[in-house]
Amino acid sequence: MTLRDQVVERLGVIESYQRFSEFIYKLYEARPDCTNYKVYHWLKGSGPEKDFREEDFEGEYSVEKFLLSLLEEKENPPSQ
């Protein structure tokens, strides 16, 4: 099971896709070249149409870090 699938399973389809959409929008605003990256299309759920760059983004735009943060958030919700 991929990391993306784990997030969808934990958060549910609607919440996970809302969070993915927010992140994708933020990523596209900061990195218009993101459409050249496989990880962008993988998160978005679109299929490859051409050769894409294989690496993830760095820092706050890392898709892997984003997905891991969603899993961690679900495992350790903020106390009220």
Residue 80 domain flag: no
Dist CA 42 CA 18 (whole Å): 15
Residue 46 domain flag: yes
Dist CA 77 CA 43 (whole Å): 23
Residue 59 domain flag: yes
Residue 21 domain flag: yes
Q: What is the tens place of the pLDDT at every residue in 9-21?
A: 999 999 999 999 9
Dist CA 57 CA 47 (whole Å): 19
Residue 79 domain flag: no
Q: What's the predicted TM-score (pTM) here?
A: 0.85
Residue 28 domain flag: yes
Q: How many domains does the structure of the chain reveal?
A: 1
Q: Structural domain of residue 24, as residue ranges?
A: 3-72
Residue 78 domain flag: no
Give the SS3 label for residue 22.
Answer: helix
Q: What is the tens place of the pLDDT at every residue in 23-76?
A: 999 999 999 999 999 999 999 988 766 788 889 999 999 999 999 999 998 777
